Amino acid sequence: MILKLLGKISRNWKAKLVSLIIASIFYVNLQNSKVLIKTINVPVDYPKLSGNLNYSKNPEKTIPIRVEGLKDVVNYYSQFMKAVIDPEDVQLGVTEVPIKKIVGVPSGVKVTKLKKTVPVEIESRGLKVVPLEVVFEGAPPANFEKLTQIVSPQKITLSGKPQDLEKITKVILPEISLMDKKEPFAKTVRIPELPKGVSVLGSRDVTVNVNIIPLSYKTGEQTAAGIPIVCSGSDVRLDAELSEEQVAIRYFSLKPIRSAQILTGITAQVPCNYIFDPVKNKIIPELQPQVAKVRIIKSKDLKGIEILQISPEKIEIRYKVKEQQNPDSDPTDDGTGMDGPGNVPSDRS
């Protein structure tokens, strides 16, 4: 029985051997056709920088790697792979940061990094708060005049290299035309382009409220709008945000008074008396917003007028800690540019 079986196997053994070799070659080729080896570029995941550190130049976005594995697996998972660097390896100045690992690689896929490091340049950036300045073009028609303007925000925070920030003391806004303006108006302008390397923190849009009034003298009961509200006694380490920036008043006068006299001789004040505790690192009191009553301050020339109504009578005040302190600022200044109420001859709340 065994001899018969061996006889059958040995019969035409050369042809059978050739067939086996050919089948083996086809099998190997089939298996190899399922394996893919290719080079791809994967994105580099850079850590976020804290404090005043910044990437001074755009670092390389991708690095090349070689991947090897089953074709379908490699093609699908390649889109999820990315290179990761350790935040502790990122230092101030120019350094070659090592690529620590490639994430998103499934089991069964081999990855070879074709680039071991990426050049990274980190610089220290400063912050500076500067005022905004409004420039007007032309003039209102005859018998009208521009009295006051309110810029919101009044100051902006710039970020950049300390040597670049030193050169900037203010930012001048685009010109605003006063031609044919006979009544108060508001205009939104955009902060112009700044020197290269200097950027604005926050929105670049600025609102300018301009008060246009007629040149007239009146007696009796009248109203005046557009009186700016200022803080008194504010902590220089805090920024106070007012829910309203202007008030309107109703007043009575026996003698003729120009509208301009009212708007230049009257100030609306609110007490901004929250403070910042550096030991506890918090604003005191903690309850916000503060509800404050508006107080009207009159100059000597307006002593004879009677304030009948203030609108609004109360406003809300929210506080936040300033991002950077100005070492040249006077800690006794309340930021209003005015004397305290005790130095004003007459007032009425």
Q: How many CA atoms lie within 13 A of 72 on its CB side?
A: 1
95 forms beta bridges with 120
Nearest CA to 42 out of 78, 9, 68 is that of: 78
pLDDT of residue 347: 42
- For residues 61 and 344, give the distance between their C-alpha atoms in angstroms, rounded to a whole number: 62
pLDDT at 18 over 60: yes
- 220-321 is classed CATH 3.40.50.2300: no
Asked, colleague to colleague, whether 32-123 and 220-321 share their fold, the answer is yes
pLDDT digits (tens, 9 = 90+) for 256-297: 777 777 778 889 999 999 999 988 889 999 888 999 999 999
pLDDT number for residue 192: 92
Q: Which residues make Cβ contacts (< 8 Å) with residue 192, sequence separation at least 6?
A: 171, 172, 173, 174
Nearest to 171 by CA among 188, 187, 153, 186: 153
- Which one has a higher pLDDT value, 125 or 335? 125
Q: What is the mean pLDDT of the chain?
A: 81
8-state DSSP, 164: H
Stretch 209-232: mean pLDDT: 81
Q: What average pLDDT does the segment 226-235 reach?
A: 88
Q: Any idea which fold 126-215 has?
A: RNA Polymerase Alpha Subunit; Chain A, domain 2 (2.170.120)
- Alpha helix locations (H) across 161-258? 162-165
**Contact criterion met (CB below 8 Å) for 129 and 224:** no
- Residue 191: name the closest of 219, 151, 226 by CA: 151
Residue type, 117: T
**Phi, then psi, of 276 in degrees rounded to 5:** -105, 125
pLDDT-derived band of residue 331, with 50, 70 and 90 as boundaries?
very low
Q: What is the residue extent of each domain of the chain?
A: 32-123, 126-215, 220-321
The residue with tokens 């991947």 is 67
* pLDDT at residue 107, as a whole number: 87
Place of tokens 């009544």: 183
Question: Which structure tokens are listed for 177?
Answer: 């035309």
Across the range 90-110, mean pLDDT stands at 86
CATH code 3.20.20.140 for 32-123: no
Say whether 41 sits in a helix, a strand or coil.
Answer: strand
> The whole model's pTM is what?
0.46
Query: Which of 25-29, 199-203, 240-244 has the lowest average pLDDT?
Result: 25-29
d(CA 264, CA 211): 11
